[in-house]
Chain A
Amino acid sequence: MNSFGRPLTRNEDPRLLRGEALFVDDVELPGLLHVAFFRSPHAHAHLVSLDVTAARAREGVVAVVTAADLGDYWQPGPLLVPPPPVPGMVFNQRCQVPLVRDTARHVGEPVAMVIAASRYIAEDAVGDISAEWETLPAVGDLEAALASGTAYVHADLGTNVAAEVHQARGDYDAAARAAHLILKRRFTYDRGASIPMETRGVVAQWDPRADRLTVWDTTQAPVVIRNGLAGMLGLSERQVRVVAPNIGGGFGPKMMMFYPEEVLVPWAAMRLGRPVKWIEDRLEHFFATTHERSQIHDAEIALDASGKILGVKDVFLHDTGAYDPYGLTVPLNSQCTLLGCYVVPAYDSRFTAVFTNRTLVTPYRGAGRQHGVFVMERLLDLAARELGLDRAEIRRRNFIPADAFPFDQGVIYQDFSRLSYDSGDYEPILDKALAAIGYADFIARVQPEARAAGRSLGLGLVCYVEGTGIGPYEGAKVQVQSSGKVSLATGIGSQGQGHATAFAQVVAEQLGVDVRDVEVTTGDTDQFYWGVGTFASRGAVVAGSAAHEAAKVVRQKVLKTAAAHFECAEEDLVLADGKVHVAGVPDHAITLGKLAGLANPMRGAVTPGTEPGLEATSYFGPASGATASGVHAMIIEFDAGTLRPTILDYVVVHDCGTVINPLILAGQIHGGVAQGIGNAFFEQLAWDENGQLLNASLADYLIPTALDVPRMRLEHTVTPSPLNPLGVKGAGEAGAIPVGALFAQAIEDALQLPARGIEILEMPLGPSRLFEITQRG
């Protein structure tokens, strides 16, 4: 078949293109009730009193639920990711609560749940609710949050420190003493939001006859939600079915968050005995769905005279928002990914995660890796300038050599294993990128000519790595149906990554069937019991490998059954076109569907050691993650008058190991770059001093349009991962990671800022802020 590795179009597309695919808000049930929330208008306030009587009295309102009404069900959500096993680490666990009981800690925190005959009426009733608040100072600025005399987000803690982690190896002080050059700068990266086009939503239905709860949830991790909800609601896991149908984009914040709404809607459905739906609106989304990105780094690099890195020291603050249920994944990623493609003999990194009166921070595409890459790539740009080195050359001199893999970075990664790069070869990637963007010609001819003509052209060139494909595990069940089609079920959810095609390719390769005949089910806990979720660029690596293993076992069963049927040796059999035949006798074939029937006989015993059917379930758990890498290069032009940029060329050279489907991979890269461009140039949540969000609409929080994202040119190198049977590495986040660093370098280059003593040390950077910075020079 050779479907593996080919740019096949997607199995999931026709239904999506006809508007037939099921999304959570498409679920309609008889007697369905609708939810709207009364949310805190304040970033930080004591709830003095709450009056819901008028809301309860409104016609069409079925129930209004406050914290007091929840009884024992009111409790902080689970800690989803525990803190890492780093000696001396501090972690203050404060998980989000379902409804504000006494203190609201961010604008939009839910206070009361209104359940009514329609969302319209529910919103009317929200307007009937009155609350008396005693406002408290809002904690926003990260440094002020740690100063004495500040307000505390969690008063009982007596500090706004959520966590402190120090990781170090080598002797940075010695490296600094030996250095020819030390550069120290402050870098800042501000908050953004993931903005999937589909907001979050939950529909829950309790069926008293089946004694089961069904929950349709826009989650990236249905199995984890199933397990958690069962525990909270006093049910067995088998009584709860969580379905993540088609999900309209996830990008991280739709992970197993146990959001308040996610916990409350199933509870309400059980209590009321009626199905209940909550669909987040876009306004709610800006406050209630998690954010990412605020960090402040004070970073220092020590180099020898040749530009070789001797050491890096970094101290940074990380904004975790009002609660920290997702542990330290984001700052750990920043801490680890800063090391990049480079040999850094001495590394000393310390971060403090800080509680603020803002929406929670959890991983969003890139998940902290942006920050690390931004700091390191900027430091290298500054160093190159100081040392009179070419920006490509200083990177090349510090690359981890191809023969040094696996390369132990000696720090604890987000999966709590020691960060070790499994494989890679960075110079060919850089060389391809330089050639593709026309680096030498740009420096020698294009840029000087443009400048002579009064044009502001600049180039950006940055390198990055991405830790992908972490454990613990995923599983897959492969089954030959009597129709001859092959089903594959896995526990992860899909949010557009093309799993129904990529996994089908993996299975088709083993079973000799058409990719269109592999029916993939993801995101339904009744179809596959075990799993973790779609995040950290792990779907293809972990679930894809599990699918591969399961398909291999089914292949053996097919061969065994067919050998018995043909009375021949298994080695003599050929699987092709959904059939099996004896080599050389293709006209005499039996279909997989018929073989499935033979494997499930109506008479005769299933003998010990055998199982009915052509089916297998396998699991795959990598010991550690596979490290992908790449180089982005960009040519940008600025209108020197307005400071508006136009991207003239954009090149991505990427190594994510073996490629299952180049078309889908290209889509993943394109989408990542687009979000990176948004993050670098457009997307910044703006807050006032009271913790109010100032741009909570899509007219004010700007995500890139088709006119803002350039045509991208993609090239690949392939260094297969030795850590999984397919040799694949994750690719979902790669596109987004280096773009901030790339913009910064390109802006400096285009506007000739270094000559004016101006450095770009922050992201995002819109034209207004850029104007302000350039006025300082």
Chain B
Amino acid sequence: MKPAPFAWHAPDELEAALALKAEHGGEARFLAGGQSLVPAMNFRVAQPAVLVDLNRIATLDTLGFTADGTLVIGAMCRYRRIERDADVARRLPMLAEALAEVAHPQIRTRGTLAGNLCHADPASEMPAVMLALAARFLLRRKGGERLVAARDFFLGPLATALAEDEMLAEIHIPALPPGSGTAFLEVARRRGDYAMMGVAAVLRRGADGRCAAARLTLCSAGPVPLAADRAASSLLGTRLTAGDFAAAAALVGAEIDPMGSVQASPAYQRHLAGVLVTRALSLAAERAA
């Protein structure tokens, strides 16, 4: 389990990294935290000819809120920094809640959120959380950039909207409006394992106490992180009662397509989706109170 040979570039500047990627295209991979890429290389499942190491680009290791409350997370911002940030925990509690489920502290020391999203594992928590938080991703390439909504970014297992010369440079997470409540719940075999099923719920109560906005997303529920829009819509205008959650959970079944794994059959995953949707909505509603 030793990686195949590769050429290693570790530029100090973002522009240099983008130029290298433009030059080498599909032959090259960006190396951020390496916590998904390096194991794949050790198994020789991934054998990139060129690694463009981003670890020396200080300008990519950013974390902060803009004036309008948007959280901007740079490509080299590690989980460890995000999970220790008191403002993040206060303003986007679901992010902190879900981060605790991502692997283990030793992985979060080096692992980056952007790297995880680019890996696009449908069993991973973070893509679903990004959908639930309506995140947008700033993709940069040599001489250009574009902003892509999280829900348009994930195209399939390990497949994203990134072009060969593009980098996921920043993650933009908008502020949650007042009256919002969020919850992330998952069931994994062991702590830190990929979820057999995970649910992210975002609810907002209006002044009348009724549901004014709802987003419900799931990981391990299909080839990409899924947004259960019909189930979420069913909650709009309701008083967010147990009956409303059960009705939403019943709708989720038609919106997911779990693929099954060694750990969980699709039937069990569907069962878990029902259980977790109900629980996550109930918790989010409580927190939105």
Contact = CB atoms under 8 A, between A and B. Distances in A.
Judged by CB atoms under 8 Å, the answer to whether A and B touch is: yes
Contacts of A281: 1
B190 A708 contact: yes
A641 interface: yes
Contacts of B279: 641
Interface of B: 1-5, 43-44, 187, 189-194, 196, 262-265, 267-268, 271-272, 275-276, 279
Interface residues of A, number: 29
A768 to B, nearest CB: 4
A768 B193 contact: no
A644 B185 CA distance: 14
B50 to A, nearest CB: 17
Interface in A679-714: 682, 686, 694-695, 697, 699-700, 702, 704-705, 707-708
A768 B190 contact: no
B268 A123 contact: no
B1 A699 contact: no
Contact of B193 (A123, A124, A642, A702): A702
Contacts of A127: 4, 44
B4 A686 contact: no
B265 A123 contact: no
B21 to A, nearest CB: 25
A283 interface: yes
Contacts of B44: 123, 127
Interface in A720-777: 766-768, 771-772, 775
A120 interface: yes
27 contacts: A119-B2, A123-B1, A123-B2, A123-B4, A124-B4, A127-B4, A127-B44, A283-B1, A283-B43, A642-B275, A644-B187, A682-B190, A695-B262, A699-B193, A700-B263, A702-B193, A702-B263, A704-B190, A707-B190, A707-B191, A708-B190, A766-B263, A767-B187, A767-B196, A768-B264, A771-B268, A772-B268
Given A766-B189, A775-B267, 5 more contacts: A124-B4, A283-B1, A682-B189, A699-B194, A702-B263
A694 B262 contact: yes
Contacts of A432: none
A642 B265 contact: no
In the A-B complex, the 8 residue pairs with the smallest Cβ-Cβ separation, listed nearest first, are A641-B275, A281-B1, A768-B268, A120-B2, A768-B264, A771-B268, A695-B262, A686-B262
Contacts of A766: 189, 263
Given A127-B44, A642-B272, A644-B187, A771 B267 contact: yes
A154 interface: no
A772 B189 contact: no
Nearest to A124: B4
A274 interface: no
Contacts of A700: 262-263
A397 interface: no
B81 to A, nearest CB: 25
Contacts of A702: 189-190, 193, 263
Contacts of B264: 767-768
A40 B66 CA distance: 56
Contacts of B43: 283, 697
A282 interface: yes
Nearest to B266: A768
B5 A124 contact: yes
Given A120-B2, A695-B262, A768-B264, A705 B272 contact: no
